[in-house]
Amino acid sequence: MLDRNRVVASLESKREQFTGYDAELAAEQKRLTDSFNAFRQQSQAELAAAIGESGEEWPGALPTDDIDAADGMRVAFDNSWNNHQEARAWALGILADRPVLAVDGSQITPTKDFSMPVGAVQVGWFVNEHRPAAPGTQNYVKDVQFEVLAPDELGDEDDSDAEGGFPNWRVNQQRFVMECGKLCDLMEEYSDRPEAERPLCFFDGSFIISFAGQLRENRAKVYIEAVDRLLHCSHKTRTPLVGFVDSSYSRDVVTLVNLLYPGAQIARSGDASLFGRILTAWGDRSPLFLCARRDSLNLDPSRATKAPFYKEVAFAYVNLVSDRAPARLEMPRWILDAGRADEIIDRVRAESVVGVGYPYAIETADALAVISQQDRERFYRILQDFLEQSGIPLSTARKMRSKQQRR
Q: Give every CB contact of residue 60 below 8 A, 6+ residues apart in sequence.
A: 251, 252, 253, 254, 255, 256, 258, 259, 292, 293, 294
d(CA 329, CA 204): 10
Reported as a pLDDT band with limits 50, 70 and 90, residue 26 is: confident
d(CA 394, CA 114): 7
In one-letter notation, the amino acid at residue 123 is V
Please check the confidence at residue 106 and state whether its pLDDT lies above 90. yes
What number is the average pLDDT over the span 129-157?
88
Label the pairing between strands 241-245 and 200-204.
parallel
d(CA 253, CA 251): 6
Give residue 269's pLDDT: 86
Strands across the sheet containing 100-108: 60-63, 289-292, 313-318, 327-332, 241-245, 200-204, 100-108, 119-128, 140-149
Length of the chain, please? 407
Long-range contacts of 274-280 (CB under 8 A, 24+ apart): 274/32, 274/36, 275/73, 275/317, 275/326, 276/317, 276/319, 276/325, 276/326, 277/33, 277/36, 278/40, 278/72, 278/73, 278/74, 279/74, 279/317, 279/318, 279/319, 279/326, 280/319
Give residue 164's pLDDT: 44
**Whole-number Cα distances in Å, 66 to 306, 332, 340:** 28, 15, 12
d(CA 108, CA 375): 10
Q: Give every CB contact of residue 76 below 8 A, 6+ residues apart in sequence.
A: 281, 284
Q: What is the pLDDT of residues 368-392, one digit of tens each?
A: 999 999 999 999 989 989 988 888 8
What number is the average pLDDT over the span 176-186?
98
Torsions phi, psi for 176 (to 5 deg): -60, -45
Strands (E), 46-86: 60-63
Label the pairing between strands 313-318 and 327-332.
antiparallel
Give residue 2's pLDDT: 86
In one-letter notation, the amino acid at residue 187 is M
Give residue 160's pLDDT: 53
**Rg from Cα positions in the chain:** 24
Q: Which residues pair with 203 in a beta bridge?
A: 103, 243
Q: Which residues pair with 125 in a beta bridge?
A: 103, 143
Torsions phi, psi for 106 (to 5 deg): -145, 165
Nearest to residue 243, comparing CAs of 183, 169, 174? Answer: 183
Lowest-pLDDT choice from 208-222, 234-248, 262-276: 262-276
Q: Judge whether 186 and 230 are in contact, CB under 8 Å.
A: no
**Whole-number Cα distances in Å, 328 to 204, 253, 317:** 11, 12, 5
Give residue 64's pLDDT: 97
Please check the confidence at residue 402 and state whether its pLDDT lies above 70. no
Please check the confidence at residue 203 and state whether its pLDDT lies above 80. yes
As a whole number, the mean pLDDT across the chain is 91
Give residue 123's pLDDT: 98
Nearest to residue 184, comparing CAs of 127, 237, 105, 106? Answer: 237
Reported as a pLDDT band with limits 50, 70 and 90, residue 166 is: low
Give residue 158's pLDDT: 63
State pTM to two decimals: 0.91
Q: What is the pLDDT of residues 111-129, one digit of tens each?
A: 877 778 899 999 999 999 9
Q: Judge whether 102 and 364 are in contact, CB under 8 Å.
A: yes
Torsions phi, psi for 105 (to 5 deg): -140, 165
Q: Judge whether 301 and 293 are in contact, CB under 8 Å.
A: no
